[in-house]
């Protein structure tokens, strides 16, 4: 189905749903999905509406000027996305390949509706598996001394390939503020949920030593504050006293794959709205 999706956030007031529905009805839209949320704390209205374009009489090239008077009246922040335009997603990876392989497989099987024009890494380790899936693999080594130059080379690759979304699939480098500022709400990261208790190297080993009963994973948008961006998805799994360190690591990596793929899928399907450093997921 060829559809369009409208995402809206604005101050909450009466008549919002009616105004949006009436606008779409005016142009013979067949709404296939509609969901909304009123956030009482911040007095916000958030909405996702998707409609079939088969009989829609408004040319989507003219959608913005036609809809803008309603947006202005209600002080809306909004965007519209078309399923006919596939987002272009770049993957950043270092040495651990479990999230990378999962994303490449889900993409090949058609689960992720996007194009993957390239993978960028600071190591050679994941080249073979990436190229097995037919995706170009670019290695840009990163050190303290060349970080600025390395990020500039990364940015050029992203721009040359028209990238819309960057996924950090266990990319073990901290992106600079200048880099992330170019891609607001378009960089998704994954990490274990031991932070801040077990940060740094070998968190699973220290969690094992403490006898943790739960481990988890968190996927979030990247901001200038490390690991403090709006959370898209989280999940946990119980740990038994019978689990050794290797089993903790295995369970943790399984969670990381699942949580990251959910976050990426929801972003690609335009199901995520960000507000007040939080997200609403219209899943």
Instruction: Give the residue numbers annotated as catalytic, written as ranges.
Output: 227
Whether 122 contacts 147, CB under 8 Å: no
Report the candidate in 106, 110, 113 with the shortest Cα–Cα distance to residue 89: 113
Whether 6 contacts 78, CB under 8 Å: yes
How far is residue 208 CA from its own chain's centroid? 30
Rounded CA-CA distance 131/9 in Å is 40
Rounded CA-CA distance 212/278 in Å is 27
Rounded CA-CA distance 24/4 in Å is 11
Instruction: For residue 257, give the H/E element and its range.
Output: helix 245-268
């Amino acid at each position: 189905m060829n559809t369009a999706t409208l995402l809206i956030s604005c101050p909450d007031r009466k008549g919002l749903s009616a105004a949006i529905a009436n606008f779409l009805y005016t142009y013979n839209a067949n709404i296939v999905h509609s969901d909304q949320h009123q956030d009482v704390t911040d007095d916000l209205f958030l909405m996702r509406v998707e409609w079939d374009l088969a009989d829609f009489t408004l040319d989507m090239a003219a959608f913005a000027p036609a809809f803008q008077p309603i947006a202005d009246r209600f002080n809306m922040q909004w965007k519209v996305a078309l399923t006919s335009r596939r987002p272009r997603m770049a993957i950043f990876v270092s040495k651990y390949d479990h999230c990378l392989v999962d994303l490449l497989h889900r993409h090949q099987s058609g689960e992720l509706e996007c194009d993957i024009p390239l993978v960028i890494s600071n190591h050679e380790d994941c080249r073979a598996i990436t190229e097995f899936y037919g995706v170009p693999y670019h290695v840009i080594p990163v050190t303290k001394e060349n970080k600025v130059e390395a990020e500039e080379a990364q940015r050029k690759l992203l721009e040359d390939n028209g990238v819309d979304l960057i996924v950090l699939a266990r990319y073990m480098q901290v992106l600079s503020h200048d880099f992330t500022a170019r891609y607001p709400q378009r960089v998704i990261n994954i990490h274990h949920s031991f932070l801040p208790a077990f940060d740094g190297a070998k968190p699973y080993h220290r969690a094992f030593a403490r006898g943790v009963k739960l481990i988890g994973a968190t996927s979030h948008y990247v901001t200038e504050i490390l690991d403090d961006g709006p959370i898209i998805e989280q999940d946990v799994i119980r740990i038994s006293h019978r689990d050794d360190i290797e089993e903790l690591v295995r369970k943790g990596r399984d969670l990381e794959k699942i949580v990251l793929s959910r976050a990426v899928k929801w972003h690609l399907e335009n199901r995520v709205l960000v507000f007040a450093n939080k997200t609403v997921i219209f899943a």
